Amino acid sequence: MTDLLKRIDFRDCPKGGILSCLPSLDIAKSVSRIQVQEIIEAVVSNGDRALCEFTKQFDKVEIDRIEVTSQEIDRAYSQTEKSVLKALESAAENIREYQLARSQFQRLGSNQVVDRQGIRVSTRRIPIERVGIYIPGGRARYPSTVLMTAIPAQVAGVHEISMCVPPGPDGMPAKETLAAARILGISEVYRIGGAQAIAAMAYGTDTVKPVLSIVGPGNVYVSVAKQLVSSVVSIPGAFAGPSEVVVVCDEETDPEYVAIDLAVQAEHGPDGKAWLVSSESSVIQRVEKSLEWVISNSVRRDELASTFASGGYAALARDSDQIVELINEIAPEHLELLVDNYQLIAPHVINAGVIFCGPMVPASIGDYFAGPSHVLPTNRTAKFAGALSVLDFTKETSLVMVENDGYEPIADIVGTIADCEGLTAHSRSVGIRLSSVRGQP
């Protein structure tokens, strides 16, 4: 097995010129938006019948009922291995503690009362009433994604959570995924996936009640569908598509660490991106040798080989400054700094979904336990978006109050600007109140 990673030498690239040398990451172009739009329109027109037909077409499963009953969820929970339940419950507790702490931090910074010049403004955050979470299926089961999407919503105060997950060959979602839903008290579950699930949550059907916001990762069809329904429901700013990782290493890094961590993201399947970044060419050679062993001994060798063939890269950088520039242009979902001197790089990284610092911190720690959601920005959207958080499940509103004794200067300022803009009703609305404050008729 040779040339697992496509080599790109950036050492002679001038400062500010890296972007032009990067491969295109707009995976949305690989999907026909017309096809996704047709799926959405079919669900809007035909509702549950379209969902069943698409499940047969795409998931190769015939279902006669979309919802998963509470009895089926309980049965899945009882059939899940005790060790898995214990691990999920421990992870849920740790994730919830992190999200609660972050929520409190945000409250202290957001729920403010500001008094100045006679105006008192109280700003507060209100939870969205009803949200939908999308949990991938098919190639793997993802009970962890239930934790990483639902817990921030629950901490934010969301009262209604609807969950969509594709069915397996037996017509049911994975029992571990349903067990995670039961652990969190989620009882509204539908056995549908893909773009059709996004359409159902956005527009509703006879069975599926529409939501106000949709979160959760998925393949490119799911991601494009979320973009297409974004005028109907809230969609967090990140493109949460196929997985990405950038692993930075040097001569001191164990090549086995690097190889397995590249495989961690690549084993999710096609369309993902896995970058090895180093300033030493000998490091790349050693890692590739370890990577050959990892792939040949993996039960998911086909997924790994496919992802590395289409999205595996080895980048040779000039120095740590150029490594930082490269990272900020790639804007990876996951960034692993598997170097002892990660403190020289991490403070300068401004575009990354999450940063794992040091050789002993693989992305798997963040995927399952650390606390921040593993629903992260992909496809370079880390340039303007971050991890899913409690803030994505809230909206901000403000209460504005004016004291009578401070009204006069405010009214004069507002009236002057309104007159300048030619908006006489605006000016009059403060003018008549100013007269009242002055005791004039």
Which residue among the candidates 244, 288, 333, 336 is catalytic per the annotation?
Answer: 333
Domains contained in the chain, CATH given? 6-24+241-374 (3.40.50.1980), 31-238+390-395 (3.40.50.1980), 404-437 (no CATH)
The Cα–Cα gap between 230 and 242 comes to 19
Residue-level pLDDT at 80: 97
176 is catalytic: no
Q: Express as a percent the part of the chain with pLDDT over 70.
A: 94
348 is catalytic: no
Structure tokens at 297: 């001994």
Residue-level pLDDT at 105: 60
Using one digit for the tens of pLDDT, what is the confidence trace for 1-18? Answer: 456 889 999 998 888 888
- Nearest 5 degrees, angle CA 68-CA 71-CA 72? 45
Structure tokens at 312: 């595996």
Q: Is the pLDDT of residue 182 over 80?
A: yes
Listed range (112-116, 145-149, 250-254) with the worst mean pLDDT: 112-116
Q: Is the pLDDT of residue 418 over 60?
A: yes
Is residue 173 within 8 Å of residue 68, measured between CB atoms?
A: yes
DSSP letter for each residue of 180-241: HHHHTT--EEE---HHHHHHHHHH--SSSPP-SEEE----HHHHHHHHHTTTTSB--SSB--
In this prediction, residues 200-229 reach a mean pLDDT of: 94
To the nearest whole number, what is the mean pLDDT of the chain? 90
Tokens 């400062």 correspond to what residue?
A: 15
Tokens 């629950």 correspond to what residue?
A: 154
The Cα–Cα gap between 362 and 369 comes to 12
In this prediction, residues 205-218 reach a mean pLDDT of: 96
The Cα–Cα gap between 368 and 238 comes to 20
Q: Is the pLDDT of residue 108 over 50?
A: no
In this prediction, residues 59-79 reach a mean pLDDT of: 96
Residue-level pLDDT at 422: 96
Is residue 255 within 8 Å of residue 338, measured between CB atoms?
A: no
Strand 113-116 and strand 354-357: the pairing is: unpaired
The Cα–Cα gap between 158 and 151 comes to 10
Using one digit for the tens of pLDDT, what is the confidence trace for 272-307? Answer: 789 999 999 999 999 999 999 998 888 888 778 888
Which residue among the candidates 334, 336, 348, 374 is catalytic per the annotation?
Answer: 334
Using one digit for the tens of pLDDT, what is the confidence trace for 367-412? Answer: 999 999 999 998 888 999 999 999 999 998 889 988 888 888 889 8
In this prediction, residues 257-275 reach a mean pLDDT of: 84
Residue 137 CA neighbour count, 13 Å, CB half? 30
Q: Is the pLDDT of residue 238 over 50?
A: yes
Residue-level pLDDT at 28: 57
In this prediction, residues 339-366 reach a mean pLDDT of: 95
Residue-level pLDDT at 2: 53
- Nearest 5 degrees, angle CA 147-CA 153-CA 159? 120
Residue-level pLDDT at 1: 44
Residue-level pLDDT at 251: 93
Residue 68 CA neighbour count, 13 Å, CB half? 31
- For residue 356, the 8-state DSSP code is E
Q: Is the pLDDT of residue 47 over 70?
A: yes
The Cα–Cα gap between 379 and 388 comes to 15
Using one digit for the tens of pLDDT, what is the confidence trace for 316-342? Answer: 999 999 999 999 999 999 999 999 999
Listed range (62-71, 108-117, 331-340, 376-385) with the worst mean pLDDT: 108-117
Residue-level pLDDT at 324: 96
